[in-house]
A and B are shown apart, each in its own frame.
Chain A
Amino acid sequence: SAVISQKPSRDICQRGTSLTIQCQVDSQVTMMFWYRQQPGQSLTLIATANQGSEATYESGFVIDKFPISRPNLTFSTLTVSNMSPEDSSIYLCSAPGMRNTEAFFGQGTRLTVV
């Protein structure tokens, strides 16, 4: 299995500001994934982060709003920029375990924008 540490676990932010979420994996992985879970809804993939190249964003998500860094094989950050109350969600990072089969998740970041 993979152990994924994500921080902060929660934050309350003012609209118009930015928040950077960090995700650390206990093993080297090629791909890391960032998901958003809006209140009462399921998870939606924001982007796939590959070390050494730009992240690949899903339809409806753009780099200017959700810039992602992937400086090495165990770490990634997601920034939520110029926040509005609509960005209030749980943000989760994910990485595969050994043999790239099972997916593991961090404990999530609960973001509230006021």
Chain B
Amino acid sequence: KQEVTQIPAALSVPEGENLVLNCSFTDSAIYNLQWFRQDPGKGLTSLLLIQSSQREQTSGRLNASLDKSSGRSTLYIAASQPGDSATYLCAVKTDSWGKLQFGAGTQVVVTP
């Protein structure tokens, strides 16, 4: 059974520092891995999608890497801003139709 773990559970950094969020999964047979952002009480916003054959994806200040063989992904957020404060979730796609297995998330606070 696929299990997804995110470390740390919570993170607080001053504005301008880089953020490093970790995600690990137990079964390397994944279709892709996706990073989401969730603001309190809201839905999910997709940040980055990494296909199983890819090593990394970049979008603006965000960069995500994937090492499928070791079951790990890392999300880097450069030069953090207070607006980056949110919960970040990683999820792996476990079947061809789109079923996702989520980690518990990392709650990020960026202080001005």
Binding site for B on A (CB under 8 A): 1, 6, 30-31, 33, 41-45, 48, 90, 92, 94-96, 100-108, 110
**Contact A102:B34 (CB < 8 A) given known A31-B98, A41-B104, A42-B105:** yes
* Chain B residues, CB < 8 A from A110: 41
Interface readout for B27-56 with A: 1 if CB under 8 Å, 0 if not? Answer: 000001010100001111110010100000
* Chain A residues, CB < 8 A from B42: 107-108
* Chain B residues, CB < 8 A from A108: 41-44
A23→B60 CA distance, assembly (Å): 31
Distance to closest chain A CB from B70 (angstroms)? 22
CB-defined A-B contacts under 8 Å, sample of 26: A6-B43, A30-B97, A33-B99, A33-B100, A41-B104, A42-B89, A42-B103, A42-B104, A43-B89, A43-B102, A45-B99, A48-B99, A92-B43, A94-B98, A101-B32, A101-B49, A101-B51, A102-B34, A102-B46, A103-B34, A103-B91, A103-B93, A105-B45, A105-B46, A108-B44, A110-B41
